[in-house]
Structure 1
Amino acid sequence: MRRPLFASLLLPLWMLATPLFAAEDGHVALIKSVSGSVRIVRQATTLDAHAGDTLQVSDRLQAGPEATAAIVFIDGTLLTLGSGADIQLRDYVFEPRSSHYGFSLYLHKGAAIYSSGKIGKVAPESVKIETPTATIGVRGTRFLVQAQ
C-alpha cells in the first residue's frame, strides 16, 4: 500500500525534474499555456507560441492584445505574461553542480508576474529584471512588474 503511494508522489517530481536535461540542447524554459496570440522571436524567425514550445536564451516573447502565456524555467522559476507584454530573455544559467547561476530578462512593455525558482532562492543576486525605466534585483520572491 505504501509503495504505490510513494511511487505516485515521485512521478510528479520526476516530471518536474525532466526539463533539467533539456538545457544541454539550449532550451531553458517551457511554455505551459498560451491564450490568444503570442509570438516567439528567435534570431530572424518569428513563430507562433504554443503550449509545449521551448525557449532559448535571447528569445523574445510578444503577447498580443488579450493574450497571456505561462512559462516555467528549468529551475522552477515561473513567469506569466500579461496582454501586450514584450519580454526578452537576456541570460539564463542554471548549473547547480558548479554553483553557476544567472537570470536576466528585459520587459520592453506590458506586465508580467515573476515567481522565484531555485535561482532566486540559492543565488538571488544573479537575478535581474529590467524595464526601460528601472532594474529590479530579486531576493527570492513573487511580484508583478509593469513597463509602459
Structure 2
Amino acid sequence: MFQTKIAGLLLLWLLTLSSAQGEEVLGYIKTTTPNAFLVIDSKTRPADVGSPVYAGNVIKTDATGSLGLTLKDNTVLSFGPDTEFEITGYFYEPGDDKLKLDMKLLKGTLHYISGVIAKLKPDAVKLNTPAGIIGVRGTHFVVKVEE
C-alpha cells in the first residue's frame, strides 16, 4: 500500500515536471501601455511589464496600444496599435544548433531587431503575414499589415 502511494506521488511529480518543461518561457514583456493584451488559452488579460511570453500566446493591442517584447536570444519586438501577433515556433539552443523563430503577424505594425538566432542562422527566422512569408536576412525591419 505504501509503495503504491509513493509510486503514485512519483508519477504525479514526473507529469508536473514534464508539463512545466513543455512551457518554456520565450521572453518577457519589457514595455506596455494599458491597451495591450496577452491571449493565453483563449483568455485575454492585460499585458504587464515582466510578464513571461510562451509559444502560442497571442499579443494584441487596440487602437492606442503598444508593447515591447525581448526574447531569450535578445531579439527585440515592438508592436504598434491594432496589432495581432503570435510566436508559432521558437528554439534557442545554440550549443546544439537548435535555432528557430517562426512568427505570425495577422494585422498591425511590428518593428523587429534581430537577436542571436538571426545572426547565427538567418534562415531560421520567418515572419508569416496574410500576404506571404518574410525571410529575415538583415538586422532590423518594420512591417505593417492592414486589414
Q: Structure 1 length as normaliser, TM-score?
A: 0.81
Does residue 98 of the first structure (1) align with residue 101 of the second (2)? Answer: no
Q: How does 1:103-142 map to 2 (within 5 A)?
A: 103-142=101-140
Which residue type is aligned with residue 90 of structure 2? Y
Structure 1 residue 24: Cα displacement: 7.8
Q: Which ranges of structure 1 fall in alignment gaps of 5 or more residues?
A: 1-22
Q: Which secondary structure state, in structure 1, belongs to the residue aligned with residue 59 of structure 2?
A: strand
Aligned Cα root-mean-square deviation (Å): 1.4
- Choose from 51, 56, 59 the match for 1:58: 56
Q: Distance in 2 between matches of 1:93 and 1:99?
A: 9
Q: How does 1:1-148 map to 2 (within 5 A)?
A: 26-148=24-146
Q: Distance in 2 between matches of 1:104 and 1:83?
A: 22
Tell me the percent identity: 27
User: Who is 1:10 aligned against?
Assistant: none
Q: Which secondary structure state, in structure 2, belongs to the residue aligned with residue 125 of structure 1?
A: helix
- The structure that has the greater radius of gyration is 2
CA contact (8 A) 1:36 1:64 kept: no
Structure 1 residue 138: Cα displacement: 0.5
Q: Distance in 1 between matches of 2:22 and 2:70?
A: 17
Q: After the TM superposition, list the runs of 4 or more consecutive aligned residues in structure 1 that deviate by more than 6 angstroms.
A: none
Give the paired residue count: 126
Q: Distance in 2 between matches of 1:95 and 1:45?
A: 30
Q: Structure 2 length as normaliser, TM-score?
A: 0.82
Q: Which ranges of structure 2 fall in alignment gaps of 5 or more residues?
A: 1-20
